[in-house]
Amino acid sequence: MSDTNTQSADTPALADKPVRVRFAPSPTGTLHLGGARTAIYNWAFARKHGGDFILRIDDTDKKRSTPENVAQILEALSWLGIDWDEGPQADGNITGDYGPYYQTQRADSYRKALDKMISSGACYRCFCTAEELTTKRDAARKVGGNPGYDRTCRDIDSVISQSRADNEESFVWRLRVPKDRTSVIVNDLVRGKIEFPIEAIDDLVLARTDGTPLYNFANTVDDLDMGITHLIRGDDHLSNTPKQILIFEALAGPESVPEFAHLSMIYGSDGKKLSKRHGAVGVEEYATLGFLPDALLNGLALLGWSLDAETTIISPETLKSEFSLERVSKNPARFDMAKLEHVNSVYIQEMSADNFTQAMLPWLINADLTTQEDYESRPEWYLELAPLISERIKLMTEVVPLAHFLFLDDIEIDEKARSKALDKDPETVRTILIAVQNALENLDDFNLENIEAALKDLPVQLDLKPRVVFQALRATISGSLVSPPLFESIALLGKKRTLQRLFAVLNA
CA distance 503 to 215: 72
**Helix or strand or coil: residue 490?**
helix
Residues 6+ apart with CB under 8 A from 79: 283, 284, 287, 293
For this structure, is 276 an active site residue? yes
Q: Which helix (H) or strand (E) holds 389?
A: helix 379-390
Strands (E), 11-135: 20-23, 52-55, 87-88, 94-95, 123-126
Nearest in space to 338 (alpha carbons), one of 390, 397, 293, 291: 291
Cβ atoms within 10 Å of 55's Cβ, excluding its own: 25
**Dihedral (Cα; 139, 145, 147, 150), 10-degree rounding:** -90
CA distance 122 to 173: 10
CA distance 309 to 21: 27
CA distance 76 to 293: 9
Of the candidates 272, 276, 330, 420, the residue annotated as catalytic is: 276
Q: Which helix (H) or strand (E) holds 194?
A: strand 192-197
Q: Which sign does the torsion angle of CA 303, 304, 308, 310 carry?
A: positive
CA distance 503 to 493: 15
Active-site residue set: 276
